[in-house]
Structure 1
């Protein structure tokens, strides 16, 4: 096939439309990147075989994949997996994707270990996330486990403890019905959900010195006890009601001494009977 003419695309001046003669008329054949155009020295009058066109299009595909890769990584660091998924969404051929990623690695535009190290440092400074959450996020970005573990070495136990303490200082909010035990349990569970180990959570809690004010807990046991009496007095009375209320309050984490004090102070009436 003979090239009839080559024109510059209106919206992409770095790409060119190639036309060939078909039955003496000019017809659009394909488009190519400027680099491919120069490499093949394409111009009017050149004769191309079908094999030439296949190779030109393969090289153009690779070039487009590379250009998209550069654009994708310009404003943010990316992992190999992220680049691969980005190119797959654009439906590039496997070979073009592989070549683009390899080229990016050769130029050190992508480096998963460096990415992991940077990611961990950023999360340590700007979030209250623990190692487990950061590890999972890096896995989802396709970073190899060995790189993840290497990067997480900088999140030392002492730094984890410091981060966990900061979390407790900001998030240790007291709820009206909290017992000391329930308050502690809720805060420890929050730390574990944030990605800290149970050991770090416990150590940070002890180091924080945070506790439920005595008057708050007394008000909580009073409120919870009255609610339990109201709920169960239609079904139970006397000692049965006492045991039921005691069971409810104990499950909520209140101490036996506080429960006994509530029961002594509180008159619970059920069909004329009191406890």
Structure 2
């Protein structure tokens, strides 16, 4: 059986350049009338990939390497445009897209240099958002930062911005909102549920104890504080 597959050349003269129909910023490049590779328009300009240009094998290799890096970079930028991400998250997503380790390393280094990846800042902002807007405790936040691959030193620095008084107030607001009705109906039953709920939210035993001490022990009027939740990191 004859193999009719045409082998892409490793160099030659550009005989045709055509824009892709579905990706307007990408072009197909033909060497000696055979499709050789597709490339983003940024690299088209950089390497002056015009019809009639001679591409040597060495340059051909450089173009393909840079194209792969550029593709991975744009993929990472798209991920970062939706929300902040840790370096670990970006590495894992690029790995899922089957980029090579060398490419992933190059891209993450570039993103750090350009300020798009900053695990210290990421940890600080996530901690602030989780503790203030979502009323999550230090234990919850620490576990989430660990899952996102944040280095220990950045986790410790980020958690230092959360003090126990702020945690207690946040936990109290959350408890007031969630258990207001049940507390007015049966304080004893609500007290048992509340302790477990706050622990599951990541609050320490000392914070839970302080909140419980502020809650009414019997039916009666109480100044209940409202709270809201937002999520910018999911």
Q: Could you tell me the TM-score, scaled by structure 1's length?
A: 0.68
On the 8 A contact 1:78/1:110 being kept in 2, the answer is yes
* Superposed displacement of residue 58, structure 1: 0.7
Match of 1:91 in 2: 98
Q: Point out the structure with the larger helix share.
A: 1
3-state SS, counterpart of residue 22 of structure 2:
coil
Q: Which segments of 5 or more consecutive residues in structure 2 lack a partner in the other structure?
A: 1-11, 220-234
Structure 2 distance, partners of 1:165, 1:44, is 70
3-state SS, counterpart of residue 196 of structure 1:
coil
* Superposed displacement of residue 74, structure 1: 1.8
* Residues paired across the two proteins, number: 207
Query: Which of the numbers 18, 23, 31 marks the counterpart of 1:7?
Result: 18
Structure 1 distance, partners of 2:114, 2:94, is 18
Whether 1:199 and 2:206 are equivalent positions in the alignment is yes
Higher relative contact order (CA 8 A, sep 6+): 2
Q: Could you tell me the TM-score, scaled by structure 2's length?
A: 0.79
Structure 2 distance, partners of 1:184, 1:68, is 49
* Superposed displacement of residue 129, structure 1: 1.4
* Superposed displacement of residue 211, structure 1: 1.9
Structure 1 distance, partners of 2:83, 2:187, is 46
On the 8 A contact 2:15/2:51 being kept in 1, the answer is yes
Match of 1:138 in 2: 145
Match of 1:211 in 2: 217
Report the structure number with the largest CA radius of gyration: 1
3-state SS, counterpart of residue 12 of structure 1:
coil
On the 8 A contact 1:164/1:191 being kept in 2, the answer is yes
Q: Which segments of 5 or more consecutive residues in structure 1 lack a partner in the other structure?
A: 214-275
On the 8 A contact 1:183/1:212 being kept in 2, the answer is no
On the 8 A contact 2:187/2:217 being kept in 1, the answer is no
